[in-house]
Every structure is written in structure tokens, then in C-alpha cells.
Structure 1
Amino acid sequence: MLGYFVRRLIMLLPVFLAMSAIVFLIVHLVPGDPIDHMLQIGASAERRQELAAKFGLDRPLVVQYALWLKAALTGDLGEAIILKQPVVDLILANLPYSLALGLSALLFSTVVGVSVGAAAAYFAGSWFDRVVMAGILMGSMLPSFWLGLLMILIFAVELGLFPVSGARSWDALVLPVLTVGIGGVALIARVTRAAFVEVAQQDFVTLLHAKGLTRRRIFFRHLVRHALMPVVTILGLKVGWILGGAVTVEYVFARPGLGSLLITSLGQRDYPVVQGCLLMLGMGVMLGTLVGDLAQAAMDPRVRDRMS
């Protein structure tokens, strides 16, 4: 298992380099720059060149990327141009809010999605299955920002059950978690149902039926163990997906977090902050993928054998 972990970790190195290069290029290809937000109206071209030289924006992009990557590998993401604070401090101050939202939404998506998907597979072909699949399809199509606004309108404004915005109390987390988690429920439930249906058609299940085992016992004693392996992989990918999905939701609910910090910095073209936030989100996806692969390898030795 240790050898498998080392090999998977080595495979992530070129992915990290490619991801960091894409993050850097995307940020710098967006029209405008932070100097536009710092200059006063009527400022001279000499003042612009002075600020560009101060922040290293007058150098070629290749040089800027090399310097940024070298510093990032040592844990230094630079200093925010507009906010005048170290980017690492800004991220660490906002990361707990994003983690609270993301992990709560992941837990909600996992419990509800696996339960609903397994129930739909158990009653495959019934009216319950058709209703669940229709709900899954609808849930996967709803944009998170629109669903968040709808949640605010119904449960915060009309019914007054939860706060409209902020993160001052635990109940302020309920609506954002539901907004992020509903899309996750749809995906996990669909994958869970498909995995159960596929496993149920394999030869060993037919043999278990021939031995006289009840359908309930086969489902809970044998199908669950095999069907949950692809679900574990999806859950690993969902770690990064939920952190990314929380970006717009945090902004809609005016919550502190990486999402609000990222969107605000994008508007200001604050390159170091945007690059740092996107790098963290990208690393979240990579870490989630690694955890999912390790969990699947622990459950199925054949996965480790393919890598040996």
C-alpha cells in the first residue's frame, strides 16, 4: 500500500505543474491588471511603469511564472497588491469558513445521495425509482447561484427561519450547505444507483440467488461492498468540486471564505490573491482524487495490482 501511495504521489507532480501554469496564465490573460485599480484618474504613464516595476509586472510572463512557482513551493504566495497583506494570511483567515461549508455539504451529499441511490436501485423499475431519477435529473440541472437565491427568498425572507447572510451562527450554515449539497446529492445518487444495478447483474449475484439467499440479504451483505467502490472515487473528486461550488454560494450568501475572497480579488485583478485561491482549489481537487484512489485501493487489491 505504501508503494502504491508513493507512485500515485509521484504521478501528481506533473499534474501540479500543469495546473499551476494554467492558473497563472488564465489570471494574466484576463483583460486589465491591478495597476488600473491603484492609479488615480489622469496618472502619467511613468507612474504606471513605476508601479508595474514595483510589483514585477513588467517582466516576461515566463519569468514571472518561474519566480511565483519557486516562491509558492516554499509556501510563499506573495503579497496582495490591493489589500497589502500576505496572501497566505488571507487564505488561512478565510479557509476555515470554506472548509466548514464544503465538508458539511460533502457529508450531506454523501449520506443523502448514497441512501437515495441505494433505495432507487433496490426498487429499480418501480414508481419510486422513476420519481427519484426525475428528482436527480432536476437537482443536477439547477444552477447553485439560482438555487441559493431561491433558498434566501423562501426560507430567509418569507419564512424567516434562517439568516439571510453572514456566518455569525451555526444556522447561517444551513442554507449554503443545502444549496451546495443538492447538486452533490444528484450526482452521488445517480452513480450509486448505477453501481448497484451493474453489480446486481454480475454472475456471483445469480449464484447467490441460486443458493437461496434472500434479496434483502444479498443487497445489504454483498452488493453494498462491491457497489460502493466507484462511489468512493466520486466522493474523492467531490472534495474539490464542492470547494469550487462553494465559490459562488459564498458570494450569494455574503459569507467569508475563499469564494468571496476570490471573486472580490478577481474584480480588483489582484493577481497574487487570485493565483493563490485558484491554486488552493486545484490542490483540493488533487488531494480529493488521491484520497479517493487510496480508499479504492484499500477496498480492492486489484487496483493496487494494476499499478505494480
Structure 2
Amino acid sequence: MFLFIVKRLVLLVPVFFVVSVVVFLIIHLVPGDPIDNLLRAGSSTAQRVQIAAKYGLDRSLAEQYFVWMRRLVSGDLGTSIIQGRPVGALIAQNLPYSLQLGGAALLFSALTGIAAGVLAASFHGTKLDDGISGLILLGSTVPSFWLGLLLILVFAVWLGWVPISGARGWTSLILPVIATGIGGIALVARVTRIAMIETARQDFVMLLHAKGLSPAIIQVRHVLRHALVPVVTILALRIGWILGGTVTIEYVFARPGLGSLLIRALNQRDYPLVQACLLMLAMAVILGTLLGDIIQAAMDPRQREVRS
């Protein structure tokens, strides 16, 4: 197991550099630059050149990338061009809000999705199964930002049960968590249902029935335990995707967080801040995949042998 984890960590090094190149090129190849947000109307060309030289924007893309990477490896995320503050401090200020929302959404989608999948698999082929499957299909097709706007309209504006926006207390988390986690519920429930139906057809399950065990005990203690291997992998992958999904949700609900910070930085073409935010979101997906591989290998030794 130790060698398996080491191999996975070593593979992250080239992936990290490829992701860093992609992130760097994405923001620098988009039209516009932060100088437009720093210059006043009627500023001269000389002033533009002076500002570009100050922030190293007059260098070639290759030089800018290597300077950024050298600082990044040493732990320096740079300084925000527009705000003039260290990027690390800005991210540290906003990241807890995103982690709070992402963690709550992941827990919500995991518990609800597994419960829905178990219920659908337990009543496979019945109207209840068809109803849950229909809701799963509907939930997987609804855009999170549209659902967020609908939830605001109904529960915040019409009913007044929860705050419309902001991050004031736990009640302000309810609607963003539902909007972020609903897609995860559909995915987890679908995977749980399929995995449990396939596991229930295995020979060892027939043997358990022959021994006279209760169907409920067989479903929960044995079938669900074996079916959780792909579910855990999906949940690990959702760690990164949920953090990415909070970008639009934080904007819709006007919440502080990494998403709101990224959107503001994109509008201002604040290169260091955008690069750091995008890199963190990309690495969250990669680390989520790594975590899923490790957990899956720990739960199923056969996977460890196949992936080694």
C-alpha cells in the first residue's frame, strides 16, 4: 500500500506542471490585460510601458511563466496587481467560505444520494424505483445556477425563510448547499443503485439468503458495503468538482469565497490572482482523484494490484 501511494504521488509532479502551463496560457491568451484597469483615461503610452515593466508584463510568456513557477515552488503566489495584496492572503481569507460550502454540499449529496440509491435498489423494478430514478434523472440535468436562482425566488423572496445572499449564519448555507449538492445527489444515487443491483446478483448474496439472513441485513451489511467501492471513488472526485461548482453558486448567492474572488479577478484580468485560483481548483480535482484511488485501493486490494 505504501508503494502504491508513493507511485501516485510521484505521478502528480508531471501532472502539476502540465496543469500549471495550461492555467498560465489560458489567462494570458485571453484578450485584455490588467493594465487597462490600472490606467486612468488619457494616460500616455509611456505610462502603460512603465506599468508593464513594473509587473513584468513586458517580458515574453516563457519568461513570465518561469518567474511565476520559480516563485510558486518557493511558496510565493505573488501579489495581486489590482488589489496590491499578497495572493496567498486573499486566498486564505476567502478559502474557508468555499470549504465550508463545499464540505456541506459534499456531505449533503453523499448522505442523500446513498440513501436514495439504497432505497431504489431495495425496491428494484417497482414504481418506487421508477420514481426515484426519474427524480435522479431530473436532478442530473438541472443547472446549478438556475436552481440557485429558483431557490432564491421561492424560499428567500416569496416565503422569506432564509437570507437571500451573504454568509451570515448557518441559514445562509441552506440554499447554496442544495443548489451545489443536487447534481451530486443524482450521480451518487445512480452509482449506488447500479452497484447494489449488480452486487445483489453475486453468488455470495444468494448464499446469505440461503442461510436465512434478513433481507434488510443483507442489503445494509453486505451488499451496500461491497457497492460502496465505486461510490467512494465518485465522492472523492466530487471534492474537486464541488469546489469548482461553488464558483457560480457563490456568485449567484453573493457569498464570499474562492469563486467570487476568481470572478472578480477574471473581470479585472488580475493575472497572479486568477492563476492561483485556477491552479487551486485544478489541484483540488487532481487530489480528489488521488484520494479516491487510495481509498478504493484500501477497500479493494484487487484494485491496488491492477493499478500498481
TM-score between the two structures when normalised by the length of structure 2: 0.97
Aligned to 2:126: 126
1:237 aligns with 2:248: no
Aligned to 1:109: 109
Inter-partner Cα distance in structure 1 for 2:87 and 2:183: 31
Q: CA deviation at 1:221?
A: 2.4
Aligned to 2:227: 227
Figure out how many residues of one structure are paired with residues of the other and give that number: 308
Q: CA deviation at 1:211?
A: 4.3
Inter-partner Cα distance in structure 2 for 1:262 and 1:90: 11
Q: CA deviation at 1:212?
A: 4.3
Inter-partner Cα distance in structure 1 for 2:252 and 2:149: 7
Aligned to 1:256: 256
Aligned to 1:198: 198
Q: Match for 2:181: what amino acid?
A: G
Q: CA deviation at 1:12?
A: 1.4
Aligned to 1:72: 72
Q: Match for 2:187: what amino acid?
A: L
Aligned to 1:179: 179
Q: CA deviation at 1:173?
A: 0.9
Inter-partner Cα distance in structure 2 for 1:188 and 1:110: 7
Identity of aligned residues (%): 61
Inter-partner Cα distance in structure 2 for 1:8 and 1:257: 30
Deviation digits for residues 81-118 of structure 1, max 9, x if unmatched? 00110000000000000000000000000000001011
Name whichever of 63-72 and 157-166 sits farther off.
Answer: 63-72
Aligned to 1:98: 98
Classify the secondary structure of the residue corresponding to 1:275: helix
1:149 aligns with 2:155: no
Gaps of 5+ in 1: none
Deviation digits for residues 213-269 of structure 1, max 9, x if unmatched? 443332222211110000000011000010000000001111000000000110001
Q: Where do 1:208-219 residues align within 5 Å?
A: 208-219=208-219
Q: Match for 1:54: what amino acid?
A: K
Q: Match for 2:234: what amino acid?
A: I
Going from structure 1 to structure 2, the CA distance change for 1:46 and 1:153 (only over 3 Å counts) comes to same
Deviation digits for residues 151-202 of structure 1, max 9, x if unmatched? 1111111111100111121111111111101111111111111111121223
Inter-partner Cα distance in structure 2 for 1:201 and 1:13: 41
Aligned to 1:86: 86
Aligned to 1:270: 270
Aligned to 1:169: 169
Name whichever of 60-69 and 251-260 sits farther off.
Answer: 60-69
Classify the secondary structure of the residue corresponding to 2:165: coil
Q: CA deviation at 1:130?
A: 0.8
Q: Match for 2:299: what amino acid?
A: M
Q: CA deviation at 1:204?
A: 2.8
Inter-partner Cα distance in structure 1 for 2:133 and 2:31: 43
1:292 aligns with 2:305: no
Going from structure 1 to structure 2, the CA distance change for 1:294 and 1:40 (only over 3 Å counts) comes to same
Name whichever of 195-204 and 296-305 sits farther off.
Answer: 195-204
Inter-partner Cα distance in structure 2 for 1:178 and 1:277: 24
User: C-alpha root-mean-square deviation of aligned residues, in Å?
Assistant: 1.3
Gaps of 5+ in 2: none
Q: CA deviation at 1:283?
A: 1.4
Aligned to 1:247: 247
Q: CA deviation at 1:293?
A: 1.3
Inter-partner Cα distance in structure 1 for 2:152 and 2:306: 48
Inter-partner Cα distance in structure 2 for 1:176 and 1:13: 34
Inter-partner Cα distance in structure 2 for 1:206 and 1:88: 56
Q: Match for 2:132: what amino acid?
A: V
Name whichever of 115-124 and 210-219 sits farther off.
Answer: 210-219
Q: Match for 1:61: what amino acid?
A: L
Deviation digits for residues 109-146 of structure 1, max 9, x if unmatched? 00000010111111111111111111111111111111
Inter-partner Cα distance in structure 2 for 1:297 and 1:290: 11
Inter-partner Cα distance in structure 2 for 1:22 and 1:203: 48
Q: Match for 2:254: what amino acid?
A: A
